[in-house]
Amino acid sequence: MDYSIIIPIYNEKENIQLLHDRLHKVMTQFSSSFEFLFVNDGSKDKSLDLIKELSSQHDYIKYIDFSRNFGHQIAVTAGLDQAVGNRIVIIDADLQDPPELILDMAKKMDEGFEVVFAKRKNRKGENWFKLLTASLFYRILRAITSIDIPLNTGDFRMIDRKIVEVLKQMPEQNKFLRGQISWIGFRQNYVEYDRDERHAGETSYPLKKMMRFALDGITAFSDAPLKFVFTLGVVVFVLAFFMIIYTLYSWLFLDSTVQGWSSIMVSILFIGAVQMIGIGIIGEYLSRMGNNVKDRPLYIIRESNIDEKS
């Protein structure tokens, strides 16, 4: 199998037929074998029936039907687990990601890249609030992580089988696939496109889900919030030190202080600083435990000649 197209589906009944037709038109331009892998993520509409009907008409159509809604990232993960193609495409079902771009992606892959993601030049039909929060989030994420997560990209991309094999070795529960793929490395490149409006239906990413997704991204790739507590503790400690000196000074030399003020001030400042540093230390351990629990591979090998030499 040359190409696997993974399509997560949540209430997309008005889009499935058109998506299929456009995808099919694109894929028949390759002289390669392909499969469409629909992952029905607990749709409440007729999506599943439509998929089943398509699969009875064409043998390149496969589907997985979830027992309930597990979320977009999990749906894509299930697709990755089942895909058998050498190149795998992840695409939204709502036609915001134009299938025709797959041709350009394949061309880039032919040049030797292992990941080709789609970078949006602009985004139609999305309100200023989504644009603002998205751009803010990715800027923060880039600032506090060491991996290079590209701006203005979603999960629409073509990846080599090698990448999928590594993804399967990353058993983390909270998936942030675009970050994981950046983290994995290899040769990555992009093609640019204009993001279309949703063809029909409504977004299933309301603010609450977006926030959770953003938190998944930050916690999966950054210890900055944990480490921040420790830094804060040190800063508070230094401030407390000077405050304590001032308190003692005014207790000894200025007789304007109220009875009991000095002892309360000294203990509050001291204990506050000690507690914060204590939390920071726990944070350092927690971050190491977190990394062990994530159980990602320590390194990923692109190539080696060890097999030939032994």
Tell the smallest beta-carbon distance from residue 185 to ligand UDP (Å).
26
**Does residue 179 interact with ligand UDP by CB under 6 A?**
no
Tell the smallest beta-carbon distance from residue 129 to Mg ion (Å).
15
Residues that bind Mg ion (CB under 5 A): 94, 96
Tell which one of 94, 114, 160, 216 touches ligand UDP (CB under 6 A): 94
Tell the smallest beta-carbon distance from residue 277 to Mg ion (Å).
45
Per-residue interface string for the shown chain with ligand UDP, residues 43-72, x marking contact by CB under 6 A: --------------------------x-xx
**Does residue 203 interact with ligand UDP by CB under 6 A?**
yes
Cβ closer to Mg ion: 94 or 155? 94
Q: Count the neighbouring beta carbons within 10 Å of the beta carbon of residue 272.
A: 15
Residue with tokens 């506090």: 144
**Does residue 174 interact with ligand UDP by CB under 6 A?**
no
- Mapped onto helix, strand or coil, the DSSP state of residue 224 is helix
Burial 131-167, CB ≥16 within 10 A → b, else e: eeebeebbeebeeebeeebeebbbbbbbbbbbbbebb
- CA-angle at 85, arms to 81 and 88, nearest 5°: 75
**Does residue 213 interact with ligand UDP by CB under 6 A?**
no
Q: How far apart are CA 106 and CA 291, in angstroms?
A: 34
Per-residue interface string for the shown chain with ligand UDP, residues 249-268, x marking contact by CB under 6 A: --------------------
Tell the smallest beta-carbon distance from residue 8 to ligand UDP (Å).
3
**Does residue 9 interact with ligand UDP by CB under 6 A?**
yes
Residue 192's DSSP bridge partners are 119
Tell the smallest beta-carbon distance from residue 95 to ligand UDP (Å).
9
Contacts of 287 (CB under 8 A, 6+ apart): 223, 226, 227
Q: How far apart are CA 216 and CA 213, in angstroms?
A: 5
**Does residue 14 interact with ligand UDP by CB under 6 A?**
no
Tell the smallest beta-carbon distance from residue 198 to Mg ion (Å).
5
Q: How far apart are CA 30 and CA 32, in angstroms?
A: 5
Identify the H or E element spanning 4: strand 3-9
**Does residue 157 interact with ligand UDP by CB under 6 A?**
no
Cβ closer to Mg ion: 94 or 216? 94
Tell the smallest beta-carbon distance from residue 16 to ligand UDP (Å).
10
Residue 233 touches which of ligand UDP, Mg ion, none (CB < 5 to 8 A by kind)? none
Q: How far apart are CA 119 and CA 193, in angstroms?
A: 6
**Does residue 75 interact with ligand UDP by CB under 6 A?**
yes
Q: How far apart are CA 96 and CA 128, in angstroms?
A: 17
Q: What is the DSSP string of 64-114?
A: EE-SS---HHHHHHHHHHH---SEEEE--TTSSS-TTHHHHHHHHHHTT-S
Tell the smallest beta-carbon distance from residue 25 to ligand UDP (Å).
19
**Does residue 8 interact with ligand UDP by CB under 6 A?**
yes
Cβ closer to ligand UDP: 21 or 165? 21
Question: How far, CA to CA in Å, does 300 sit from each of 130, 169, 269?
Answer: 35, 10, 47
Two tokens at 203? 């977004």
**Residues of the shown chain interacting with ligand UDP in the complex, contacts defined by CB under 6 A:** 8-10, 12, 41, 69, 71-72, 75, 92-94, 96, 203-205
